[in-house]
Amino acid sequence: KQEVTQIPAALSVPEGENLVLNCSFTDSAIYNLQWFRQDPGKGLTSLLLIQSSQREQTSGRLNASLDKSSGRSTLYIAASQPGDSATYLCAVQTSNRLAFGKGNQVVVIP
């Protein structure tokens, strides 16, 4: 069974600092990995999708890397802003299902 772990569970950073969020998974036989953002009590917003054949994806201030062999992905958010405050979820797809981590809860302090 795929297990997904996200570290740290929570962090606070001053505005302008870069954010580094980590995701690890136990089964490297994945099809893809997707990072989501979730605001309190709300649904999920997709940020980046990395296919298993890819090493990284970038969108604006966001960059996600994937090291499938070691079972790790990292989400970098450059120059953090208060609007980046949210929970970030990592999800890996194996066969036809997604396995989620519990998330990294981020607070950016103005």
Partner 1 sequence: SAVISQKPSRDICQRGTSLTIQCQVDSQVTMMFWYRQQPGQSLTLIATANQGSEATYESGFVIDKFPISRPNLTFSTLTVSNMSPEDSSIYLCSVGTQAYGYTFGSGTRLTVV
Q: Is 66 in the site for partner 1 (CB under 8 A)?
A: no
CA–CA separation, 67 vs 47, rounded Å? 18
Closest CA to 66 of 88, 46, 87, 49: 49
* Binding span for partner 1 by CB under 8 A among 13-21, 67-75, 77-85, 95-103: 95-103
What are the two backbone dihedrals, phi and then psi, of residue 84, each rounded to the nearest 5 degrees? -80, -5
Under a CB-based contact definition with an 8 Å cutoff, are residues 100 and 44 in contact? Answer: no
String of contacts with partner 1 for each residue 1-20, x by CB under 8 A: ---x----------------
Among 62, 64, 75, 91, binds partner 1 (CB under 8 A): 91
Token digits for 13?
């950073």
- For the chain, give the number of residues: 110
Span of 15-23, 63-71, 72-80, 89-97 interacting with partner 1 by CB under 8 A: 89-97
Residue 32 or 65: which CB sits closer to partner 1? Answer: 32
93 binds partner 1 (CB under 8 A): yes
Rounded CA separation 103/53 (Å): 24
Binding residues for partner 1, per CB under 8 A?
4, 31-32, 34, 36, 41-46, 49, 89, 91, 93, 96-98, 100-103
